[in-house]
Amino acid sequence: MKPASSNNIAPEAAPMEFSFATAADYDVVIVGGGSAGLSAALVLGRSCRKVLVCSSGPPRNSTSPGVHSFFTRDGIKPAELLRVGREQLAPYPTISTREACVTHIEVKEIGFSITMQPDRGGHPVTVSTRRVLLATGVTDDLPPIEGMRELWGMGVLHCPYCHGWEVRSKPLAVLGQGKTAFGLGLLISRWSKDVVVCTNGPSGIKEKGMRRLERHGVVVREDRIARLEGRPTGELRHIVFENGEKLSRHALFLHTHQRQRSTLAEETGCRMLSSGAVWTSKKAQTSIKGIYAAGDITPAPQQAIIAAAEGSLAAIAINESLTREECR
C-alpha cells in the first residue's frame, strides 16, 4: 500500500484525535502477544491507533532452541524474538501492553467489552474497544507415548521448514498413519536419505503410497512404540518398540493434533472450521463483525513469520475499517 505523503508522522508525534460517536477505551484490543499480535500492534501504533495488547503464558514454541526461516532473525530464541518485538513497540505512545488473560468478550450494540484477569492476581479488569484481534495461538496435543513431551521442541519436531536444516543428513523418523504419514515421510526425505515412518500399529498407507515411499528409500515400520529415549541435551536417541527392539534416530517429526489455546472465538460465536481453525475473510475478519483473527488460530501455514505477516495484514484491514467509520 502506498502511503500519502501527508501522513508521514514521527513516532514521537502526538496521536491523531478522531471524532466518532462511540467513545471507547481503545481502538483495538489485541488478545495474544506472539508474533501475530505484536506485528499487528506495531502497524496499528504506527497508524496512530490506541491499542492494548493482552498476553498470558509462554508461547507455543517456548521449548524450541530457535525460531528459523524468519527473515533477519533466523535462529533467534523464541523469548528473544518476543522481547525485541515488545521493545520496538515502546516508541509508540498509543500502544499499551498488559500481562493478563482475556476471559470474556461481550459483543455490544457498538463495539465490545473485554474482561481480563491480570496474571499477577487482583480483580478482573473490563475495558471497551471498537475492534478485537484474536491472536491467541494453538496448543499441540502430543501422542501419549512416554518421553514425547520431554523431547518436544528438540528431539520431537513438527515442522521441517523450521527445524529440518538442523537435523539434515541424520537418521530421522516420522510418526503417523495414512495420508499424513505418507506425505510427511516423503517430505522429510528431502532432508535425509535415512527416514523411517513409524506408524505405531497398522499403517493405513495405501499400496501405491507404500511403493512410492519404498522407491524413495523411506522404510515403514508398523511395530507398536513403547517409549522414546533421549539425550540430556534434548535430542532423540532411540525409539523403543514394545517388542524390545530399539531404533536409533536423531529426531522424530509428526503432525500433532491441535486445539485452540483459547475458547474466546467459539464462545463469541465466531465460525469455526472442521479443522478447528477460526474462519476468516480475505481481510482477516471472522464471522463476527469487528472481530479479526491472525496467526496459528487461522487455517494458514504455521510459521512465526507467516503469523507476523497475518498480524500485519489484519492490522491494515482494521485500520481501514475504522477509518471508513470515522470518515463518513
Q: Using CA atoms in the order 285, 72, 15, 100, what is the torsion angle rounded to 10 degrees? A: 60
Task: State mean pLDDT over 41-65.
Answer: 93
**Residue 214: pLDDT above 80?**
yes
Cβ atoms < 10 Å from Cβ of 223: 15
Cα distances from 214 to residues 19, 132, 186, 204, 211, in angstroms, run 67, 50, 10, 15, 5
Say if residues 236 and 156 touch (Cβ distance below 8 Å): yes
Q: Is the pTM of this model over 0.85?
A: yes
Using one digit for the tens of pLDDT, what is the confidence trace for 71-96? 999 999 999 999 999 999 999 999 99
Per residue in 317-326, pLDDT (tens digit) is: 999 999 999 9
Element (H, E) at 306: helix 304-326
Nearest to 163 by CA among 35, 252, 259, 257: 252
Q: What is the mean pLDDT of residues 159-177?
A: 96
Give the CA distances from residue 164 to residues 64, 169, 219, 252, 267, in Å, rounded to whole numbers and listed in that order.
13, 9, 19, 11, 37
Whether pLDDT at 14 is above 60: no
Give the pLDDT of residue 19: 39
285 three-state secondary structure: strand
Domains and CATH numbers, the chain: 24-139+257-326 (3.50.50.60), 143-254 (3.50.50.60)
Please report the pLDDT score of residue 22 as a whole number. Answer: 54
Contacts of 316 (CB under 8 A, 6+ apart): 1, 43
